[in-house]
Amino acid sequence: MAKGKRRWLWLGLPLGLGGCLYWTYGGGQHEAAGTPRASALPASAVSARMVSQQESGAAPTAASDDAAAPSKQILFGDLHVHSTFSPDAFLMTLPFVGGDGAHPPADACDFARYCSGLDFFSINDHAEGVTPAHWQETKEAIRQCNAVAADQENPDLVAFVGWEWTQVGLTPEQHYGHKNVIFRDLEEEKLPARPIAAVGQGAQLRRATAQNRGAFLIPLLDFQRRQRYLDLAVYMRELRETPICPKGVDTRQLPKDCLEEAETPGELFEKLNQWGFPHLVIPHGTTWGFYTPAGYTWDKQLAPSQDDPSQRLLEVYSGHGNSEEYRDTQSVTRSSEDPHKLVCPEAQPGFEPCCRRAGELVRARCDDQSSPDCAQAVNAAQQNYLAAGMSGHLTLPWADVADWGECDQCTDCFNPAFSNRPGGSAQYILAKGYFPRGSAEASAGAKTAPRHAQLGFIASSDNHSARPGTGYKELARRHFTEARGPETAEWRDRMLGQVRSTLEKQLGAAPTKTSVELTSELRHVLPPFALPHFERQASFFLTGGLVAVHSAGRSRGQIWDALQRREVYGTSGDRILLWFDLLPQGNDLGGRPLPMGSAAALGGIPAFRVRAAGALEELPGCPAWSKQALGDAELERLCRGECHNPGSKRKRLTEIQVIRIRPQQRPDEALRDLIEDPWKRLACPKDKEICEVSFEDPDYVVGQRDAVYYVRAIQAPTPAVNAGSLRCERDASGTCIKPNPCYGDYRTPSSDDCLSPNQERAWSSPIFLHYVEPPSDADAGADAGSSDADTGDGTP
C-alpha cells in the first residue's frame, strides 16, 4: 500500500477528522453558540453570598481599619474557560473518547449562573481555532448572558469576553507559552474585529489537521454516533477556509474575515495596543510540561519588549496544576563546551529527570548491564529522549505509563503541573531580575537597576467543556476535568496501535531493549495527538481553581477595577475568604493599610496582618432555583446533578504560610537563596472559624533591599480529584515503587474519581516593597514610607 494511503488510515485519529467527511457523508452542522437561559438568580440568592461573608466574622466591619473598606466584598470567578469553539475542546466531545456532545459558550453562562454559582467568568477559546463567525457568535452569546441580569449595577453574574493566545515553541528559546486576553467592555465598537492567534506549533497544527482529507474510518466504525464526527468535519472545513491575515498591517486595517497571528508577546501587545481597548493579558500554565520544553525559563519575557502594563496578573493554579512553586531541579542542561548540545542531568533527591529514567529503563533490559554495549544503549536512550522534547515517551514505545514513575515531577509540590518546569513558576518569575546592561556590567557594579515582574496571583479552571468553576465539588472526573481517552480497548488499539507499530519498526531486532530516534520524518507521519504524553497527563488533571476579587460592588466596572488593582487572590477551588494587608506605622503609607497586590516604597520595619476563613461546607444536590431554571434533564447534563450549594458550617483552616522573596540584585545570585518558602508558618486556632495572624520583618531594614511577600491560607485535608496524581505505592524512603495511574480511558472506570486527601488553599497576591532610606533626624517629621504607594493602577 502506498505510504500516503497507509498514513491516512490512522492519521485522522482524532485530530484529523475534518475536511472530506462533510463531502463524503453530508449532514454535518455548524457548531452554534447556543442561547443562555433567560432567568436571573433570585436577589435573595445573590445577597446571601455577602451575608455569609459578614457572618463569618472575618469580613471588615465599619469600625475596622482594614484596607478592604466596609463596602468591599469578595466575589469569586473563573477567568479561563473554553467552549467547543476550541479545537481541543471539540475533540473531547467525540463519542469514542467518552464525550457528551457540544458545550458552546451559552453552556458556560448557564453553568456559571446555575451550577457553580459564580459572580463572574470569561470565555477564552483558543484564537487559533476561532473563525470570524465564531468570534461574532461568542460576543453575542456573552452579551445575551449579561443581559439576563436586569440591574447591571448589581447583576447576579458578569461575563467577560476574550480569547487564549496559545503559543508553543519546540525549544526553550522559541517558547513563550499561553496567555489569556480579556476585555472590559462588550459593545461591538469596543472589541477587536477578530482574535489574535499565535504563530508556531499551535497554528500550524490547526492548519495541518484542517487540511486532512483522509479521515473516513471513525464514522464508519461508529456509525450510530456519526453526527458528532460530521459536525467536526464542518468545524474543520470552516477553519481551513479562513485565510491568514496579511503581515505587517495595522490590526485595525485588516479584513474581518481572516485569522490574525502574532509571533511573540511583544507583537501581541503591539496589536492589542493598536486597538486601544481596556484589556488584561494573563499568562497561565507556565510550568506545565505537557507542551513546555524542558529547560524553559521566563527570562526573556522580563525584557520590556516582551512585557506590557496589561500583563499584571498571573494564573498560578488551574485544572492543569500548580505553577506557583520553584524548585532548583533540572530536566536538561547544556554542555559547557557546546551550548547546543543537550546533557541529561543526574538525579537529585526527590527528583529524577525523565531522560535519566529512559536510560535506566533501557539498562534494566540489558543482558549484561556492565557491558559497553549496554552503556552505549543507555546513553542513546538519554539523548533520544532529550532530542524528542515533549515527545520523549515515544522513544521507548514499549514502555507504559507506570514505567516512567514520577520522572520530571515535583514530588513535594502541592498539586504540581505535569512534567513541572520550574523556570516558569511564579516564584521564579518574581525573583528573577532582568539586567538591561548585561550580566557582566551588572556584576561589576553597574548602577542600572534590574527590572522585576510585579504580578498579582489568580487561579481559574482552564476547563474545556464550558464549565466555569468546576471545583465547587470534587466529582465527575471525566466531565469536570480534561481526563479523556478511548472508551474501550478496541478504540485505544485503533488510536495507538499503528503508532506503536510504526515506532517499533525503527527498533530492529531488539524492540524491547533499545530506543527510537524521533526524526523529523517520523514526526511527519505520526498523528499530532500522539506527540504529547496524553495517557500519563490524565493523572494530573484537576477540577481547577477560582479567582477572588476584593470589589467595591458587583458591577462589571467594579470587578475590573479590582483586577487592575491586583486586589485579587486565587484558590484551589474552595471559596476560602482571605485578606492580606500591609499595616501603616504612624503616618507612613498615608496612614492607611495597603491590601494585597499593592506596591510601596518603605524604609521602616514592615508589619502585616492576615485574616482568613475556610470555605463553607457543601450540601448535596442543588438549590431550588437551579432546578427551576434548568429542569432535571439539563441539570444532569450540565451540572451532573450537583451544584454549588453551601451550608452554614465552615471548613477549618490549619495555618497561614508566609512566603518571602528577595528579587535578584545581581545576576549571579542563586534564586534558591532568595525564595523562602515558607518563610513563616503561623498556626490557626483549632476552636475558631476565623484565622487572624500578624507578623513583622525586621530583616527588611537590615538587608536594605526590596522584598516581596505573599501568604497561603491552608485548609484541613478533604478528598479531591487526582490530588494523589500517580497514586504511588512508596517504600520507607518515600520513593515511588509502584504507580497506580488514574487513566482518562477505560482502564480507570468513569465512576472512579481518583480521590485523595488534599489541603485546599488560597494564595494572596503579593505585596511588593521597594526599600528606601528612612528619613534623617532633620526630617524626623517625614514619613518612613511613601504615601502614594501603587495599588495596581500602574507599575512603579
Taking residues 516-527, report their average pLDDT: 86
Q: pLDDT at position 220, please?
A: 79
Q: Can you name the residues that pair with 166 across neighbouring β-strands? A: 178
Taking residues 373-379, report their average pLDDT: 95
Cα 781 to Cα 774: distance, rounded to the nearest angstrom: 11
Q: pLDDT at position 60, please?
A: 61
Helix, strand, coil % over all residues of the chain, rounded to 5: 30, 20, 45
Taking residues 488-493, report their average pLDDT: 92
Residues 6+ apart with CB under 8 A from 392: 354, 355, 358, 384, 385, 386
Condensed to tens digits (0 to 9), the pLDDT of residues 380-438 reads 999 999 999 999 999 999 999 999 999 999 999 999 999 999 999 999 999 999 998 65
Taking residues 134-145, report their average pLDDT: 98
- 476, three cell numbers: 465527575
DSSP string, 461-525: --BSSS-TTGGGSS--HHHHS-----SSHHHHHHHHHHHHHHHHGGGTT-TTT------HHHHHH
pLDDT above 80 for 137: yes
DSSP string, 255-293: -TTSBEEESSHHHHHHHHHHHT--EEEEEE-TT-TTTSP
Sign for the CA dihedral angle at 464, 466, 469, 475 comes to negative
Q: pLDDT class for 509, splitting at 50, 70, 90?
A: low
Q: pLDDT at position 188, please?
A: 97
Q: What is the largest CA-CA distance in the chain?
A: 91
CA 270 vs. chain centroid, Å, equals 24
Q: What are phi and psi of 199, to 5 degrees?
A: -90, 135
What residue ranges in 127-205 does DSSP mark as E strands?
158-166, 178-183, 196-198
Q: What are phi and psi of 416, to 5 degrees?
A: -70, 155
3-state secondary structure of 352: coil
pLDDT above 60 for 676: yes
Which is more confidently placed, 544 or 8?
Answer: 544
Q: Which of 200-204, 371-375, 689-693, 697-701 has the lowest mean pLDDT?
A: 200-204
Q: pLDDT at position 511, please?
A: 59
Where do we find the cell 493579558?
281
Q: What is the dihedral of CA 109, 113, 119, 120, to 10 degrees?
A: 0
Report long-range pairs for 683-686 (Cβ below 8 Å, ≥24 apart): 683/654, 683/655, 684/612, 684/652, 684/653, 684/654, 684/655, 684/656, 686/652
Contact 219, 202 (CB under 8 A): no
Cα 697 to Cα 675: distance, rounded to the nearest angstrom: 15
Where do we find the cell 503591539?
270
Condensed to tens digits (0 to 9), the pLDDT of residues 225-247 reads 999 999 999 999 999 899 999 99
Q: Which of 4-8, 516-520, 766-770 has the lowest mean pLDDT?
A: 4-8
Taking residues 65-79, report their average pLDDT: 75
**DSSP annotation of 779:** G
DSSP string, 290-319: TTSPTT--SGGGGSGGG--TT--EEEEEET
C-alpha distances out from residue 244 to 206, 490, 586, Å? 12, 39, 60
The dihedral region occupied by 687, where left means phi > 0, alpha psi between -120 and 50, and beta the remainder, is alpha
* CA proximity to 362, closest of 346, 375, 347, 352: 375
**DSSP annotation of 790:** B
Q: pLDDT class for 496, splitting at 50, 70, 90?
A: confident
Q: pLDDT at position 529, please?
A: 80
- Round the average pLDDT of the chain to a whole number and report it: 89
Q: What are phi and psi of 197, to 5 degrees?
A: -95, 170
* CA proximity to 642, closest of 626, 665, 625, 666: 626
Condensed to tens digits (0 to 9), the pLDDT of residues 706-719 reads 999 999 999 999 99
* CA proximity to 623, closest of 639, 603, 604, 637: 639
CA 222 vs. chain centroid, Å, equals 34
Angle CA(590)–CA(591)–CA(594) in degrees, nearest 5? Answer: 75
Cα 256 to Cα 251: distance, rounded to the nearest angstrom: 10
Q: pLDDT at position 586, please?
A: 73
Condensed to tens digits (0 to 9), the pLDDT of residues 428-455 reads 999 999 998 654 444 444 457 899 999 9
Q: pLDDT at position 209, please?
A: 52
% residues pLDDT > 90 (the chain): 78
Condensed to tens digits (0 to 9), the pLDDT of residues 759-793 reads 999 999 999 999 999 876 555 444 444 544 454 44
Which residues in 122-142 are b (16+ Cβ under 10 Å) and which e?
bbbbbbbbbbbbbbebbbbbb
C-alpha distances out from residue 149 to 45, 152, 162, 309, 547, Å? 13, 6, 20, 32, 21
- Give the residue ranges of DSSP H helices in 367-455: 372-387, 426-431, 439-443
Q: What are phi and psi of 48, to 5 degrees?
A: -65, -25
